[in-house]
């Protein structure tokens, strides 16, 4: 064990900064990619809400701005649109949940006024999440949503890629640092074969006895 301590000590000195840097970069890449992935899930809903609000404010009826057909949140990946009055009651919509209208929480509409937009994740039941965009119109609110199932699958794939990349990079760095530690251990350490490192070589090919060396040093000091 004494042989490996300086080797692992050298390896740790080399590996720890690399592992810290790789971990920080991996976390940063994951955070940026996750933010971008979640933001992209709102793209069609933003367009749907803005166009519906513009049409409603121009005098269109709620029924005319809602797409034809019904989207079942439990099974469909298609985006849906719902128009509400100022009290939060649904006037017209293209979404259903298990054959009935989903119950949107009143908190979705709190704080919305003018052209303000709110982009949230709504979970009507466990295991079912939607990317929802809400905007106010002059007589109420417009909500557009879409299932996050594909986004969540892509998130899992991204997490796997980042984890494998981090583990592979850290593992290669650890192996490299260990090899460097074997060939360049900490100073004063035993050789890998178990023998202590040889003392400094003799001066001019000869080694003076210890007493002679002390006596010579005393003479030199006296002179």
Q: Do 83 and 95 touch, CB atoms closer than 8 A? A: no
pLDDT, residue 180, reads 87
pLDDT, residue 110, reads 79
Q: Is the pLDDT of residue 198 over 70?
A: no
Phi, psi torsion values for 144, nearest 5 degrees = -125, 140
Q: Do 151 and 37 touch, CB atoms closer than 8 A? A: yes
Calpha distance 180→14 (Å, rounded): 9
| Confidence label for 95 from pLDDT (cuts 50, 70 and 90) | very high
pLDDT, residue 30, reads 93
pTM of the model: 0.69
Bigger pLDDT: 20 vs 199:
20
User: pLDDT, tens digit, for every residue of 65-74?
Assistant: 999 889 998 8
Residue positions counted in the chain:
223
Q: Do 163 and 97 touch, CB atoms closer than 8 A? A: no
pLDDT, residue 214, reads 42
| DSSP 8-class letter at 203 | B
pLDDT, residue 23, reads 95
- pLDDT mean across residues, the chain: 83
Q: Which residues contact 80 (CB under 8 A, 6 or more apart)?
A: 67, 71, 73, 93, 94, 95, 144, 145, 146
- CATH T-level assignment (fold) for domain 42-147: Beta-Lactamase (3.30.450)
């Amino acid at each position: 064990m004494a042989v490996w301590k300086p080797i692992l000590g050298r390896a740790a000195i080399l590996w720890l900064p690399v592992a810290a840097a790789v971990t920080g970069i991996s976390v940063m890449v994951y955070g940026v990619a996750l933010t971008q992935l979640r933001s992209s899930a709102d793209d069609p809903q933003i367009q749907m809400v803005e166009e519906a609000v513009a049409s409603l404010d121009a005098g269109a009826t709620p029924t005319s701005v809602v797409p034809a057909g019904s989207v079942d949140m439990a099974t469909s990946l298609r985006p849906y649109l719902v128009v509400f009055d100022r009290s939060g009651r649904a006037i017209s919509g293209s979404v259903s949940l298990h054959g009935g209208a989903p119950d949107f929480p009143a908190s979705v509409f709190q704080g919305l006024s003018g052209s303000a937009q709110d982009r949230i994740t709504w979970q009507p039941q466990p295991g079912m999440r939607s990317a929802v965009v809400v905007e106010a119109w002059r007589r109420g609110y417009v909500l557009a949503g879409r299932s996050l199932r594909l986004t969540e699958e892509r998130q899992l794939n991204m997490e796997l890629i980042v984890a494998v990349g981090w583990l592979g990079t850290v593992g290669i760095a650890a192996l490299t640092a260990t090899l460097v530690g074997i060939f360049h251990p900490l100073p004063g350490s035993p050789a890998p074969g178990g023998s202590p490192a040889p003392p400094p070589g003799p001066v001019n090919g000869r080694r003076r006895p210890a007493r002679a060396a002390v006596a010579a040093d005393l003479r030199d000091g006296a002179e």
